[in-house]
Structure formats: C-alpha cells, structure tokens
Amino acid sequence: MAVANRRIVRWGAFALALAAPIVLGQGSAVDEIAKYRAALQDGNPAELWEVRGEGIWKAPVGPGKASLEKCDLGLGPGVVKGAYAAMPRYFADADKVMDLETRLVWCRVKLQGMSEADAKKNPFGGPNNKSDMEALVAFVTSESRGARMNVSIDHPKEREAYRIGEKIFYFRGGPHDFGCVTCHGEDGKRIRLQDLPNLTTKEGAQKAYTTWPAYRVSQGELRSFQWRLNDCFRQQRFPELVFTSDASIALTMYLARNANGAPFDAPAIKR
C-alpha cells in the first residue's frame, strides 16, 4: 500500500515541527490536526464521484440496454432516497441479507445481464483506475444524507446477521491476536494520533458509521464501508476479506444497526 498512499502531510514530522515543550507540544499537535480536518470539509472531491455515480446508475448497458433505474434497494424499484440508511436488509428475491454493494452487484447481474464476476470487478479504484462501484456507492449514499439510520433486525436472517457480525467483531486471530475489538472496544483511545471510535457503544458506532463512505485524502479516492472493512483486516494481519462476502455483510449489519437513530452524513471527507 506504500505506493497507493498519498500522504500530503506526515503526521509525525508535522507534530514534531510544532512545539518543543513535551506536554504543550502534544496537546497542540492534536488541535492542529483537528483544524486541518475542519479546513478539509469544504470542497469534498467525493462530489465528483457522486456525479459520476449518478451517470452510471442511469446509463443503459448490457445485452438489454438496461440502466439501474429499476434497481430495488429496499424501498421499491428505483427509490434511492433514504435507501442506504435502512441497509443492510433482508431481500426476499435473493433470500438473503445484503449490504449496498451486494445489492448493486445483484442489480447489475439481474437487470443489466452482467456476469457476477464482471459485476464484482474492480471494487476499489486507484490512480488512473476509476471504480464504477465506488461511484455508485457515492451516488446512492449521497441520497441518504440527512436520513436517520434505521436498520431493521426484525427478519430472522437480519437478526442472525447482526449476532454473527457481533461475534466477528470480537474474533481474535492472526499473528498479532487482533480483532476489531482490539482498537474499537474502548472509549477515549487513539492509535498514534488517530482517535478511535468505540464501536461497541451507540455513540461511537453512530459517529463512525454515518461518515462512511468518505473521500480519503491519503488515498486520493472515495472509499466505501466494504473498503474500510477490507483494509482493517489487512492491518489486523488477517488474509484478505472477500468483497461482498457474508462476513463483510454481517459485520456491516452489526455496525450499521448500532448506529441507528443518528442522521446519516456522508459521503464525508477524511484525512
């Protein structure tokens, strides 16, 4: 990932450059970074992905020249507004719980005649390699901005996905004995100078989940929640989390449900 990372500012050097006294220097380093984050909010490049995503949603492709405009994201065919705030959810036609990306793959296959392999191709873009999936995620999620998170676990499969997602959250493994809980199980902790949300609490889950997807400045890309989970597991020294795998859906279900009640506020922008 060293090649793909576009660090505009190295936090360590930045922080060291600020002040000599140890105690004062440490406090102002965190404050200065907070100021940087506030300054970033204007001019979010995520809007470029939202525009491109809307274009892809409406573009007729495949053997039947069909667009995604009849895709049912849970609120009826073609209803995009507010749909993300109620996902993941159980879909009767697929008889399974699906998160947004899984549902988009489904619609690309069923409505546009793509093969499942093609529909899942290139989920995470890079330099000179735009991902259609990330653009679609940007567009669909932007239509839920302001909607309160309202993920249901009424259906038995939704409830099961939530319970399994919780177990995955606590799963300790790999050479470092890491689990999601290692970094996200306590209040008020940070890794280096990056504050860590406690995802086991309502407040932590709400703050974290409602700000993904996000334009990651260090990535130079719009990153989705599937990407966030994939990259967490990489850093946990696990093997690679498969895109739209059952585990990724279950974990998303656990975190999204924990965020219920909070207004969705993405696509956001992060360092």
Partner 1 sequence: MNRGFIAVALAGLGAATLLVGCATGPSDAEISAKTTSMMKASFNARGQAKLDRLDQDDAQKTCTEYSGKPLPTEVAQRIEKENLASITWPADGKYLGSWQNGEKIAQEGRGMQYSDDPASPSGANCYACHQLAPQELSYGTIGPSLYQFAKLRGYGVEIQKYAYGKVFNSEAYNACTTMPRFGHSKILTEQQVKDVVALLMDPASPVNK
Partner 2 sequence: MADPMKIRANVSGDSTEVKVLMNHEMETGQRKDANGATIPAWFIQNVTVTYGGKTVLSAQWGPAVAKNPFLAFKFKGGAKGEKVQITWVDNKGDKRTDEAVIA
Q: List residues binding partner 1 (CB under 8 A).
A: 1, 11-12, 15-16, 18, 22, 25-26, 29, 155-156, 159-160, 163-164, 167-168, 170-179, 181-183, 185-186, 188-193, 196, 200, 233-235, 237-242, 245-248, 250
**Residue 215 DSSP one-character state:** E
Least distance to partner 2, CB of residue 121, Å: 20
Would residue 107 show up in a list of annotated catalytic residues for this protein?
no
- Is the Cβ–Cβ distance between 89 and 97 less than 8 Å? yes
DSSP helix/strand/coil, 157: helix
Q: Which is closer to partner 2, CB of 42 or CB of 154? A: 42
Residue 252: C-alpha distances to residues 45, 205, 238, 249, 261 (Å): 25, 11, 18, 5, 16
Least distance to partner 1, CB of residue 168, Å: 6
Cα 37–Cα 231–Cα 171 angle in degrees, nearest 5: 115
Q: Which is closer to partner 2, CB of 44 or CB of 248? A: 44
Q: Which does 51 bind (CB under 5 to 8 A by kind): partner 1, partner 2, none?
A: partner 2
Q: List residues binding partner 2 (CB under 8 A).
A: 3, 6, 8, 42-45, 47-48, 51-52, 127-128, 215, 217, 220
Q: State both tokens at 241.
A: 């989390």
Least distance to partner 1, CB of residue 156, Å: 3
Count CB atoms within 10 A of the CB of residue 253. Answer: 28
Q: Which does 45 bind (CB under 5 to 8 A by kind): partner 1, partner 2, none?
A: partner 2
List 107, 180, 183, 232, catalytic entry: 232
Q: Which does 220 bind (CB under 5 to 8 A by kind): partner 1, partner 2, none?
A: partner 2
Dihedral through CA 252, CA 229, CA 135, CA 47, nearest 10?
90
Q: Which does 60 bind (CB under 5 to 8 A by kind): partner 2, partner 1, none?
A: none
Q: Which is closer to partner 2, CB of 50 or CB of 158? A: 50
Q: How far apart are CA 113 and CA 64, in angstroms?
A: 7
Least distance to partner 1, CB of residue 48, Å: 27
Q: State both tokens at 91.
A: 């879909």
Q: How far apart are CA 227 and CA 208, in angstroms?
A: 14
- Is the Cβ–Cβ distance between 259 and 205 less than 8 Å? yes
Least distance to partner 2, CB of residue 5, Å: 10
Q: Which residues are catalytic?
A: 232
